[in-house]
């Protein structure tokens, strides 16, 4: 078997491993809020994720991806020795997959984006030289550690405060929920449509002007609202349910909303984060086939398929621990609280993709959960869990880099 075939088989296997890690860690935290709020069971969440993550990854995950993820390495520096990039990308996939496995096992919600960025930086420093790394890019990624959780935390705080003021603290919470939840459903549909239009569809050749994007997003928002109102009109409310928990019937209405936000977040996440697995994979395949380093390379359909399948398998097989961390260990979630988290997180993703800030879905979601907890008072947060999560974020980039350096020398030793 020649080297080209071996590289392609290895890229496929390691890309699947990395996508599996994204499913076990990242998708688990996208679904964790819905499960923690008891709006969805684990089984329902896996089914929703399977459909919407896969659709996002496959439909909007990128026909053409920059070969080198996020422009972290300078191409010119390795034009003469493309095989170094092959070893480096294989090492990056192996390193990122390994770190995600370790983190998922411990129940830490870490960033897959930062893991793969750390891995690529690690191999670039030892394999090519520090000057090959675009440090300003790495700097902006480090900035996003602070920006994304703070922004989504603030949004979630004010969103949940609005739910408290308009609905939960009203004289007749149920009547107010029926009046205001459709507005929240519209906001969710509108925001997610915008995420997808701005972030996803460029890859499949659909590009609209900014004004067209907003018009389409409004129409989708109205359609989603109509479907949501139809579901709410079919709900059965029993006043006796409110005896144990004052807002039991109100939360039923919010459960409908959470299912909408769960589908939305899964789609947005699939279209965005599958690139962390398939970008390096596509790079290896294109260099192995052509023998040259291209900045742009066409994305074979089977590569996106591997990414989509890997994500779904990871969630189903190993997502439970991270789901528990996000869903119940940081703060106690109900459907109204979980909805505020998801809408704040997806809004932050829209703002970030509009401004080109590289952010982490994970940091955004954890920030939102913290914001909702703070809206109920600092005592509602489990600060030791929060501390552990922050620590796992700090070590993600260096962990990815160190593992990648180790695997880079391993692959270099085996193949050259």
pLDDT at residue 347, as a whole number: 80
In a 3-state reduction of DSSP, which class is residue 79? coil
Which SS3 state, helix, strand or coil, does residue 66 take?
strand
Q: Are 45 and 296 in contact (CB under 8 A)?
A: no
pLDDT at 252: 86
Q: What is the pTM of this model?
A: 0.84
Q: Are 323 and 49 within 8 A, CB to CB?
A: no
Q: Which domain holds residue 128?
A: 3-415
- pLDDT at position 410, please? 95
More confident residue, 17 or 387: 17
Q: How far apart are CA 264 and CA 254, in angstroms?
A: 15
- Residue-wise pLDDT tens digits, 273-311: 777 888 888 888 888 887 776 666 667 778 888 888 898
Question: With contact defined as beta carbons under 8 Å apart, do 105 and 325 qualify?
Answer: no
Determine the average pLDDT of the residues in 375-384: 80
**At residue 299, what are phi and psi to the nearest 5 degrees?**
-95, 110
Segment 32-86, tens digit of pLDDT: 888 888 888 888 888 888 888 888 777 766 543 443 455 778 777 777 788 888 9
Give phi and psi for 295, each to the nearest 5: -70, -40
Tell me the two tokens of residue 159.
């969103």
pLDDT (mean) for 364-369:
88
* pLDDT at residue 285, as a whole number: 85
Q: What is the pLDDT of residue 60?
A: 65
- For residue 246, give the DSSP letter: T
Which one-letter DSSP state was computed for residue 274?
T
The span from the CA of 280 to the CA of 98, in Å, is: 15
Q: 248 or 410, which is more confident?
A: 410
Digit-coded pLDDT (tens) for 193-234: 876 676 556 556 667 788 888 999 999 999 999 998 998 888
Nearest by Cα to 27 from 307, 277, 312: 312
d(CA 266, CA 249): 26
Q: What is the pLDDT of residue 38?
A: 83
Residues in the chain: 416
Do 192 and 268 touch, CB atoms closer than 8 A?
yes
Backbone angles phi, psi at 113, to 5 degrees: -60, -45
**Helix (H) / strand (E) containing 297:** strand 296-298
pLDDT of 112 higher than 80: yes
**Per-residue pLDDT tens digits for 80-103:** 788 888 999 999 999 999 999 999
| DSSP secondary structure of 175-209 | HHHHHHHHHHHHHHHHHHHHHIIIIIGGGGT----
H helices present in 37-172, as ranges? 42-60, 82-106, 112-127, 135-163
Whether the pLDDT of residue 12 is over 90: the answer is: yes
**CA dist list (Å): 220 to 48, 189, 190, 197:** 19, 6, 6, 11
Task: Summarize the confidence of residues 352-375 as an average pLDDT.
Answer: 79
Share of residues in the chain with pLDDT > 90 (%): 23
Tokens of 21: 């890690």
Q: How many domains does the chain have?
A: 1
| Positive/negative CA dihedral, 288, 291, 293, 295 | negative
> pLDDT tens digits, residue range 121-163?
999 999 888 888 888 888 877 787 788 899 999 999 999 999 9
The tokens describing 185, both together, are 């459903």
Whether 344 shows a pLDDT value over 60: the answer reads: yes
Lookup: tokens for 129: 């030289």
| Mean pLDDT score across all residues of the chain | 83
CA separation for the pair 5, 144 (Å, rounded) = 38
């Amino acid at each position: 078997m020649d080297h080209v075939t071996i590289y392609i088989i290895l890229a496929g296997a390691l890309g699947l491993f990395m996508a599996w890690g994204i499913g076990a860690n990242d998708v688990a935290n996208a679904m964790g809020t819905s499960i923690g709020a008891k709006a969805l069971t684990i089984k329902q969440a896996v089914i929703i994720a399977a459909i919407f993550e896969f659709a996002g990854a496959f439909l909007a995950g990128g026909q053409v991806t920059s070969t080198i993820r996020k422009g972290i390495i300078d191409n010119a520096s390795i034009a003469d020795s493309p095989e170094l990039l092959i070893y480096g990308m294989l090492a990056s996939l192996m390193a990122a997959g390994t770190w995600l496995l370790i983190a998922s096992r411990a129940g830490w919600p870490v960033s897959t984006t930062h893991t793969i960025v750390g891995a690529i930086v690690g191999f670039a420093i030892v394999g090519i030289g520090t000057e090959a790394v675009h440090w300003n890019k790495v700097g902006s990624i480090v900035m996003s550690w602070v920006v994304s959780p703070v922004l989504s935390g603030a949004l979630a705080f004010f969103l949940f405060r609005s739910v408290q003021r308009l609905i939960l603290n009203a004289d007749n919470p149920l009547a107010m929920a029926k009046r205001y939840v459709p507005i929240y459903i519209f906001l969710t549909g509108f925001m997610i449509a915008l995420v997808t239009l701005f972030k996803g569809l460029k890859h499949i050749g659909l590009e609209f002007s900014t004004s067209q994007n907003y018009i389409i997003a409004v129409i989708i928002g109205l359609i989603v609202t109509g479907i949501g109102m139809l579901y709410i009109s079919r709900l059965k409310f029993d006043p006796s349910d409110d005896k144990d928990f004052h807002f039991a019937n109100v939360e039923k209405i919010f459960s409908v909303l959470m299912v909408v936000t769960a589908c939305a977040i899964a789609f947005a996440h699939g279209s965005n984060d599958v690139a962390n697995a398939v970008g390096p994979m596509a790079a290896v395949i294109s260099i192995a086939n052509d023998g040259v380093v291209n900045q742009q390379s066409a994305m074979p359909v089977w590569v996106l398929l591997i990414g989509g399948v890997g994500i779904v398998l990871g969630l189903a097989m190993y997502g439970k621990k991270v789901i528990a961390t996000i869903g119940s260990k940081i703060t106690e979630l109900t459907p109204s609280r979980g909805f505020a988290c998801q809408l704040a997180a997806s809004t932050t993703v829209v703002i970030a993709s509009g401004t080109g800030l590289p952010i982490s879905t994970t940091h955004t979601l954890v920030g939102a959960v913290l914001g909702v907890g703070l809206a109920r008072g600092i005592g509602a947060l489990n600060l030791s869990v929060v501390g552990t999560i922050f620590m796992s974020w700090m070590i993600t980039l260096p962990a990815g880099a160190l593992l990648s350096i180790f695997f880079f020398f391993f692959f270099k030793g085996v193949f050259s």
